[in-house]
Amino acid sequence: MEQPSHTITYTLEEKEYDTPYYSIRQNYPQQYQGTNIPLVIDNGSNQCRAGWANEGTPSMIFDNVVARYRDRKANVNVVTVGMDAQSDPSSRSSARSPFDGNVVCDFDRMETVLDYIFTVLGITTSTIEHPLVMTEPVCVPQYSRNLMSELLFECYNAPSVTYGIDALFSHYANGGENEDGIIVSSGHNSTHIIPTLQGKGILGKAKR
């Protein structure tokens, strides 16, 4: 039986671009090096997307899980991320998400995920020279955000980090920067209802 091709089709400027659901793409464009083009990480509890802010589609999409196990045949410790973490029974049984619900709690695994993102994008230096934009859920605990900031600044020497609620980013991207309305953000673990007034999220009235 033919295996399904896991692809997601994006439409951009009336042209179709087929992006593999999972692919190793070590692509650090030369024109981006030494610039301040932001690197965007949509850090979801189910899937993670990462890419450059000036591109219409993410460079990579993968399941946000990390597996650590010992390969007895090769007698080595193995760490896998994304679809690799679910490729065989040994890794699948140890695959864990950095999230507890929709909040990052395991920052050891989160560091592995970030290492994977930067390596696949071809950034192999110890310092990330680009500003980072990272999504987060509604009302993320300040303690969790502090640990994330500590990881990004101290481990990767990021020049700056901007956090934003994924649902509000989507609202603005779809022309809602001056609109009143209600956002229904249905995620993998929870659904958030966020009212907006002139494009600004009224988080005090948000519901989970």
pLDDT tens-digit map of 84-123 = 888 778 788 889 999 998 899 999 999 999 999 999 888 8
| Predicted local confidence at residue 205, as pLDDT | 92
pLDDT in tens, 39-90: 999 999 999 999 999 888 888 899 999 999 888 888 888 899 988 888 778 7
- Confidence label for 12 from pLDDT (cuts 50, 70 and 90): very low
| Predicted local confidence at residue 117, as pLDDT | 93
Q: Using alpha carbons, select from 148, 151, 132 the residue that is nearest to residue 140.
A: 148
| Predicted local confidence at residue 25, as pLDDT | 59
* Residue-averaged pLDDT of the chain: 84
Q: Using alpha carbons, select from 79, 61, 58 the residue that is nearest to residue 69.
A: 79
112 close to 96: Cβ distance less than 8 angstroms:
no
| Predicted local confidence at residue 194, as pLDDT | 94
Confidence (pTM): 0.82
- Confidence label for 23 from pLDDT (cuts 50, 70 and 90): low
pLDDT in tens, 155-168: 999 999 999 999 99
Domains of the chain: 19-177 (3.30.420.40)
| Residue type (1 letter), 159 | P
Measured between alpha carbons, how far is residue 147 from residues 90, 99, 126, 156 in Å? Answer: 30, 13, 19, 13
CA distance 100 to 96: 10
β-pairing verdict for 39-43 and 161-165: unpaired
